[in-house]
A and B are shown apart, each in its own frame.
Chain A
């Protein structure tokens, strides 16, 4: 699985868009980009995933660059409840290793009033 690089922390004002970057320069053609978040003392929660096209769901949007070497998770209108650690993970959809969801340190996002 490709490694990812994320900033350790970022702040965002409530109501504004939060743009979370992720670098994955060694991503291979069959690897997807997944985003999870973990609110303090809870289990991680799936947010969104994509291969090469931009994706949007009720929680967020995912923008993947054309060369697929980086991506941005966008929380369109951040709320205080979006304060969490956000993890960017790159992984093939089907893999012999069922359990290898590699979580790095992620980005601590703090949404302020």
Chain B
């Protein structure tokens, strides 16, 4: 079945360490996105990519980095510069510019210890 796979589901990181969250899709979608969700809050956009080798900052890009070397993959690195990285991270993809049809992964819960 087509879908988005995020791994790992739970991730623990020590302060000062970089960590990379994986996101892979086999839907042949052009656009991919990373959102952050804090408890009781809505989703906030971190980065998005419309095509391979291109990506744009979202509303809260500071302390994060991404790459888009393949259409299927859009990994997110949470760097040590991110002051409060503990959150639920969601990856999504979409076929084109239309507003519906977002497919979300099941998320990665990152905890800084």
Contacts and interface: CB of A to CB of B under 8 A. Distances in A.
B99 A99 contact: no
Contact of A93 (B88, B92, B99): B99
A41 B109 contact: yes
Interface string B45-72: 1001010000010100000000000000
A93 B102 contact: no
Interface size class of A (residues with CB under 8 A): 20 to 34
Interface residues of B, number: 31
Contacts of A46: 100-103
Contacts of A99: 31, 33, 45, 48, 56, 58
Nearest to A8: B40
A43 B94 contact: no
Chain A CB count within 10 A is highest, among B45, B48, B90, B99, for B99
Interface string A85-112: 0010001111100111111111000000
A43 B105 contact: yes
B75 interface: no
A95 B96 CA distance: 11
A49 interface: yes
Given A32-B100, A103-B42, A105-B40, 9 more contacts: A36-B102, A41-B109, A42-B107, A44-B102, A93-B98, A98-B94, A101-B45, A102-B42, A103-B43
6 contacts: A43-B91, A43-B92, A44-B90, A92-B99, A101-B43, A106-B42
